[in-house]
Amino acid sequence: MDKSDIISLPNPHLRQRSRKVSVISDEIKQLVKDMEQATLSWEDSRQHEVGVALAAVQVDCLDRLVIIRNNFNDKADRSFQVYLNPKITKKFGDIVEDYEGCLSIKDTYGKVARHSKIKVLAKNLQGKEVRLTAEGFLARVFQHEIDHTNGIVFVDHIKDSAEAFYTLKDDGKLEKKDYQKDIKNNKSLWE
């Protein structure tokens, strides 16, 4: 797989709930490899962005499976952790607004409010239970990706917030989008 296999809005599958992964089959293991390749291919085509994470639905596979980059700050580290059937068991800490982008939403970033700390329960690719507490950016990434498994994309959280939408300019800086013109009735975002 490569970046062309990543689906984007208005594909209706992005707003469908993913099904639980019951068996860690060879197909699931291959899906993980495909997702990693697609994420890295996407990243390699972007000067100012990092492929941080991906949910299986983003490659048009409705399995509850998420991959998250091991090191967000080092593009040379191209390794990921795998989380099967991830769910948030507790949200706590402060509610923090910060910028989010998505490999499945072209040219749109948003300022989204999320909890600063969460507890996550999942399984790894070996079928072992994983429990962890995520803070800061990692907590945001988990919330964003678990939303994907539930058919929610980040723009759904800020749909009516005229000040929350941005675009990435060629110089790597974010610029506010015109909500009335670019967002409010944008059929690719809201159909």
**Residue 32 — very low, low, confident or very high, per pLDDT cuts 50/70/90?**
very high
**Taking the domain 3-190, which CATH number applies?**
3.90.45.10
Spatial separation of the C-alpha atoms in residues 63 and 158, rounded to whole Å: 26
**Residue 170 — very low, low, confident or very high, per pLDDT cuts 50/70/90?**
confident
pLDDT digits (tens, 9 = 90+) for 105-126: 988 999 999 999 999 999 999 9
Catalytically active residues, by annotation: 145
**Residue 47 — very low, low, confident or very high, per pLDDT cuts 50/70/90?**
confident
Looking at residue 17, its amino acid is R
| pTM of the predicted model as reported, rounded to 2 decimal places | 0.96
The answer for residues whose C-beta is within 8 angstroms of residue 162's C-beta and 6 or more apart is 179, 180, 183, 184
Average pLDDT over residues 177-190: 93
